[in-house]
Amino acid sequence: MRTAFVLGRTCFRFQGQAARPRILQHVYSRLHTGQTHSFSIWRHTKHAFRSPPSPIKGGIALFAALSPTAFVTISQAEEEEDGLTGEARMLAASREEIDNYVPEALRGSKHWRVMVWRFLDTWIIEPIATGVRFLHLVAIFVPVMITFPVVFIGPRRSKDGETALSIWWYGCLVWAMKSAGASFIKLGQWAATRSDIFPKELCDRMSSLHSEAPAHSLKVTKRTIEKAFGKKFDEIFDEFNETPLGVGAIAQVYKARLKPEFATTDDAVLDEPQTFGERARKTVDPILKSSPQRTPSNYVAIKVLHPGIEKNVRRDLRIMGFFASLINAIPTMEWLSFPDEVQQFGAMMKLQLDLRIESANLVTFRKNFRSRSTAWFPYPYIEYSSRQVLVEEFATGIPLEDFMVNGGGVFHAELADEGLDAFLHMLLIDNFIHADLHPGNIMVRFHQPAPVDVSLSLRRRRDKPLAKNTKDVTEEVLERLRPHRKDQKAWIDALAQIDKEGFRPQLIFIDTGLVTELNATNRKNFLE
C-alpha cells in the first residue's frame, strides 16, 4: 500500500498545472481572474443553469450542473479575443464543473466540511487510488511484456510473415488492452488504424476493440437513465431493448421507444428553411440531387457512459503523463514529445466523457446542414441528456462499411459525391468538422424523393405525421438489402432494383463527440 501511495502522489504531481493543455490553463485563469473580454460561462449560460440545492443555514452551495442547453449556448457563442473555439470552451466548462464537484451528501454543508473533503480527496484518496490503478496495470501488462520474445520464435507463414506464436501474442495484447479499460481500448482502436506502423495482423486483431469492449450491467443503465429523466424507468419507455446495440470503450448504446409525452421533437426551426435563398435551394434540391425527406420516429438511441469511467481515465492520464515526462527527460528523446501527445490524447478522452458536448455538437451539425440534402444527423433530445446520458433519434441505416466491402453498385458515384460534398461543407463553409469519420460512424439509408415545392413560399409547411401502423419505407428497403451482406452479386442486383424503384441514398453521420474547429486566425491562414 505504501508503494501505491508514493507512486500515486508522484503521478498526481505530474498531472498538475504543468501537464494540462495550455489552452485549458488559459481558460481556467481567465474564468477565475474575471479579466475583461474573457469568456464567461456565467454570462453566456446564466439562464441555462440547473438550480443547485438550497444551502442549509450557515452553509454554502458549491455545485451547479450545467444543462445541455448551456453547452449549446457555449458552443455557438461568437469567438472572443482569447481565440478559443467552441469545443475548447465546452471542454473547459465541463472540466471546471468536475473540479468544483462536491458529493451530494456535502452539498449545502458548511465551508470547513467541504474543504476537509477536498483535502482528503486530493492528497490522500486520489494518490492511493492512482497507485492502486498502476499496480493493476502492472499485473495486466507485465506478463504480456515478458512473453514478447515469442514473436520471433517459430517458422513464418508465407502470406503475412507471421508465426503461430506471434499471432498468439497479438491475442494476448488485445486481451490486455481490453482488460485495462477505456484509455487503453482507445489506444488499441487508434493502433488498429495504423497499419503503416504496426503489423497488419496486429491491426486486424486490434480492430475487434471497436465492438468488443466490456459492457456494464442493465441495473446501472436503468439507474443512470432514471436520474437523467427524473422519472421511474417504466414511465419513460414503451419499448426498451435490454441487449445493447453496441458497447464501446466509453459508453454503450441501446434502442428504445419513448412514450408519446417524451417523444416530441422541437427543432422545426432547424429542419425548415429560414430564408428565401434556403427555401429556393430546398426546392431545387429534389431536382438536382433527388433529395429524400425525413421520416419522424419515436425510436431513440440511448448512449450511457460506463460507471466510474471518468475517475479511471483521469488516473490513467496521470500515470501516462508521469511516464511520458520520464521518457522526455532522457537525452535525445525530447523530439518524440510524449508529454504533448498525452495532453492531446487526454483532451480527446475528456471530450467524450461528457455527453452534453456530443448533444451540443449534434444541434450545431443539424443547424449547419438544415439546407443541405445529402447528409443527415440524428435529432438530440437535449432536455433529457446529461453528462452520463445522450438521447437521440434512432438512425436507421446500413453501415457504410458494407458498401465498401460489397461495392456501391449503381449508387457508387452518388455516395462518393455525397460524402465529399458533406466533408467539404464542414471544412470550408462551416468550420465545424466531424473528427471521427470512420465507416462505423457513417450509415446509408434510402428514401424516395420529396415532392417538389414550386411555391417558394417562406410560410412553413408541416409534414403530415405517419399513420400509427405505417411502416417506414426506409426500413422496408433496408430489410431487402440486409440478407445480401455476404453475397456481393445479390447485393449489387438488389441495389440496381432499388434504383429502378426511384429510391435515392442519403448519408447519416453519428457519434459526433469529437469535432475540429479553427479559430479565426488559423482559419484565415488555412483559407488563404
Integer Cα distance of 310 and 459 in angstroms: 47
- Which of 60, 85, 110 marks a domain boundary? 110
Whether 397 is in a domain gets the answer yes
Selection from 220, 9, 232, 26 nearest residue 132 by Cα = 9
Confidence of residue 268 (pLDDT cuts 50, 70, 90): very low
> In this predicted model, what pLDDT tens digit does every residue of 282-325 receive, in sequence order?
544 544 444 444 455 689 999 999 999 999 999 999 999 999 99
Whether the CB-CB separation of 23 and 83 falls below 8 Å is answered with no
Whether 305 is in a domain gets the answer no
Same domain, yes or no: 382 and 467: yes
Same domain, yes or no: 84 and 203: no
User: Residue range 55-73: average pLDDT?
Assistant: 59
> In this predicted model, what pLDDT tens digit does every residue of 19-30 receive, in sequence order?
444 444 444 444
Above pLDDT 90, what percent of the chain? 43
Q: Please report which residue ranges of 181-333 form alpha helices under DSSP H.
A: 182-192, 200-206, 218-229, 268-271, 276-289, 309-328
pLDDT at 216 over 80: yes
C-alpha cell at 506: 442519403
Integer Cα distance of 161 and 163 in angstroms: 7
pLDDT at 493 over 70: yes
Same domain, yes or no: 81 and 155: no
User: Residue range 337-352: average pLDDT?
Assistant: 91
pLDDT at 54 over 70: no
Mean pLDDT of the chain: 80
Instruction: Please give the residue range of the domain that contains residue 195.
Output: 147-210
The strand pairing partners of 287, in sequence order, are: none
Whether 9 is in a domain gets the answer no
- Which of 110, 139, 168 marks a domain boundary? 110
Confidence of residue 66 (pLDDT cuts 50, 70, 90): confident
Cβ of 246: how many Cβ atoms within 10 Å?
17
- How much is the pTM? 0.80
Same domain, yes or no: 106 and 187: no
Same domain, yes or no: 89 and 190: no
Instruction: Please give the tally of structural domains in the chain.
Output: 3
The strand pairing partners of 243, in sequence order, are: none
Same domain, yes or no: 169 and 277: no
> In this predicted model, what pLDDT tens digit does every residue of 439-486 receive, in sequence order?
888 999 988 776 555 554 544 444 444 444 445 677 888 888 989 988
Whether 318 is in a domain gets the answer no
Same domain, yes or no: 383 and 450: yes
Confidence of residue 356 (pLDDT cuts 50, 70, 90): very high
Which H or E run contains 301? strand 299-305
Same domain, yes or no: 104 and 161: no
Whether 151 is in a domain gets the answer yes
pLDDT at 338 over 90: no
Same domain, yes or no: 100 and 170: no
Whether 55 is in a domain gets the answer yes
Same domain, yes or no: 425 and 361: yes
User: Residue range 47-61: average pLDDT?
Assistant: 37
Same domain, yes or no: 151 and 106: no
Whether 120 is in a domain gets the answer no
Dihedrals phi, psi of 444, to nearest 5 degrees: -125, 135
Same domain, yes or no: 162 and 93: no
> In this predicted model, what pLDDT tens digit does every residue of 118-151 receive, in sequence order?
999 999 999 999 999 999 999 999 999 999 999 8
Confidence of residue 497 (pLDDT cuts 50, 70, 90): very high
Confidence of residue 4 (pLDDT cuts 50, 70, 90): low
Whether 254 is in a domain gets the answer no
In order, the DSSP letters of 479-513 are HHHGGGTT-HHHHHHHHHHHHHTT-EEEEEE---S
